[in-house]
Amino acid sequence: MRILVVNVNTTESITEAIGKQAATAAAPGTEIVPLTPPFGAESVEGNYESYLAAIAVMEAVRAYPDPFDAIVQAGYGEHGREGLQELFDVPVVDITEAAASTAQFVGRRYSVVTSLDRTVPLIEDRLHAAGLSARCASVRASGMPVLELERDPQAAVDAIAEQAARAVEDDRAEAICLGCGGMAGLAERVIQRTGVPVIDGVTSAVTIAESLVRLGLTTSKVRTYAPPRPKAMTNWPPPIS
C-alpha cells in the first residue's frame, strides 16, 4: 500500500520530518511518500496561505507519476480536502479531522493546542465544517510566534503544555490533539503535564488511511465529490520550472 503524505508548505525539511513521523505509524508493507507542493508559502499560518496551499497540494498529487492508495493532507486546519476528494478516487484524510476523530475514541471531549492565535479560527472552522466540533472542548494557542519558538524551543514546549493543562482543567478536555509541528519532546511533555492521551495528526491520519484502504472504501462520487466536469481551463495549471 502506498500513501502520499502531502505537506502544505514549501519547506522541504518539514516535508521530510512529516514523512518520518508518518513512517512511525505505518504498518509493515505500507510505503509513505512525502510530497512538497510545487508552489506556495514556506509556512501556512492563515487563510490566504491556506487557500494557496489547497491548490498547490492538489497539483502536487496530480504531478505524482505512480499509482497510490490514499492521500494524507498534512496541514493543521487547512483548506482543500474536498478538492482532493473530487480529483481522486482513493481515500483522502486530513490530519485535523483524523486527530479529532481519533481523540473521540479515547476521551469524552478533546482540545486542540496550536502555536499561533491566528490559526485558531481556521482549525475551528474546519472542525465545524467536518461535523467534529460537538465534542471539541476548545482550540487553544500558545500565542508564541514561530521565531520565538526557534529561539527557545523549551519555552515553546512549556507554553503549549501549559495550554494543554488549561484545556484539561478549565475546558474539561480529556484528550489533546497537537495542532502544530513535531517539536522534540512535545507529546511527552504534554502527557507528563496533563495525564491525558495526546494525539498527533499525521500518525493518526496514516492509520485511518490504511484502514480505509484495507476496508476497500473509496470516496463517494454520487454528489459532493463527483469528478470535475470536463471544461476549458485558462492559464492553468501554471508552468512550474
- In whole angstroms, the minimum distance from the beta carbon of 127 to a second copy comes to 10
Whole-angstrom distance, CA of residue 168 vs CA of residue 163: 9
- In whole angstroms, the minimum distance from the beta carbon of 198 to a second copy comes to 9
**Closer to a second copy at the Cβ: 13 or 235?**
235
- In whole angstroms, the minimum distance from the beta carbon of 155 to a second copy comes to 20
Quick one: CA torsion of 54, 72, 43, 159, rounded to 10 degrees?
130
Give the strand order in the sheet containing 136-141. Answer: 136-141, 110-114, 175-178, 198-200
CB 107 within 8 A of CB 137: no
Give the number of C-alpha atoms closer than 13 A to the C-alpha of residue 216, restricted to the C-beta side: 0
Phi, psi of 62 (to 5 degrees): -60, -30
**Closer to a second copy at the Cβ: 82 or 154?**
82
**Closer to a second copy at the Cβ: 66 or 223?**
223
**Closer to a second copy at the Cβ: 121 or 154?**
121
- Count CB atoms within 10 A of the CB of residue 225: 19
- In whole angstroms, the minimum distance from the beta carbon of 54 to a second copy comes to 5
- In whole angstroms, the minimum distance from the beta carbon of 204 to a second copy comes to 6
Strand partners, 229: none
**Closer to a second copy at the Cβ: 184 or 226?**
226
- In whole angstroms, the minimum distance from the beta carbon of 161 to a second copy comes to 15
Q: Under DSSP, is residue 30 helix (H, G, I), strand (E, B) or coil?
A: coil
**Closer to a second copy at the Cβ: 154 or 173?**
173
- Count CB atoms within 10 A of the CB of residue 98: 25
- In whole angstroms, the minimum distance from the beta carbon of 184 to a second copy comes to 18
CB 74 within 8 A of CB 56: no
Whole-angstrom distance, CA of residue 165 vs CA of residue 220: 39
CB 231 within 8 A of CB 30: no
**Closer to a second copy at the Cβ: 154 or 214?**
214
